[in-house]
């Protein structure tokens, strides 16, 4: 279910599915479900997990101000959030010259 996968990815980024317009639209078209309650997650190779977790909640929202997204898939959006986070860690995020609109991503 691609809609469910994108809904789950959004939750990992501390985003609501309503924050990503194409997810509810796809659910309304019958492509899949957005409810995570019936989902079964199977972790592959849990022993290989690195210590700690990568969680962006308020951080992701703070980084989202640099993004002008239009129907971007969750994988692309999440990757961009992560890239911005890494730039922020390096102390060079403020050096980006983005103009008013920010980084454009998506299909719209």
Q: Report, as an integer, the average pLDDT of 51-77.
A: 80
Q: How far is Cα 17 from Cα 8, in angstroms, rounded to an integer?
A: 9
Q: How far is Cα 23 from Cα 4, in angstroms, rounded to an integer?
A: 9
Q: And the tokens for 17?
A: 């599915």
Residues 6+ apart with CB under 8 A from 80: 67, 72, 103, 105
Global pTM value: 0.48
Q: Which alpha helices (DSSP H) does the chain contain, by range? A: 2-12, 22-28, 58-64, 74-90
More confident of the two residues 66 and 51: 66
């Amino acid at each position: 279910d691609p809609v469910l996968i994108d809904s789950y990815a959004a939750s990992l980024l501390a985003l609501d599915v309503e924050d990503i317009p194409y997810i509810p639209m796809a659910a309304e078209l019958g492509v899949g479900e957005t409810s995570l309650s019936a989902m079964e997650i199977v972790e592959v190779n849990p022993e290989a997990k690195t210590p700690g977790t990568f969680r962006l909640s308020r951080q992701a929202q703070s980084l989202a101000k640099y993004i002008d997204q239009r129907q971007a898939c969750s994988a692309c959006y999440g990757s961009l959030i992560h890239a911005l986070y890494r730039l922020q860690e390096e102390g060079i995020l403020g050096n980006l010259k983005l103009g008013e609109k920010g980084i454009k991503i998506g299909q719209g």
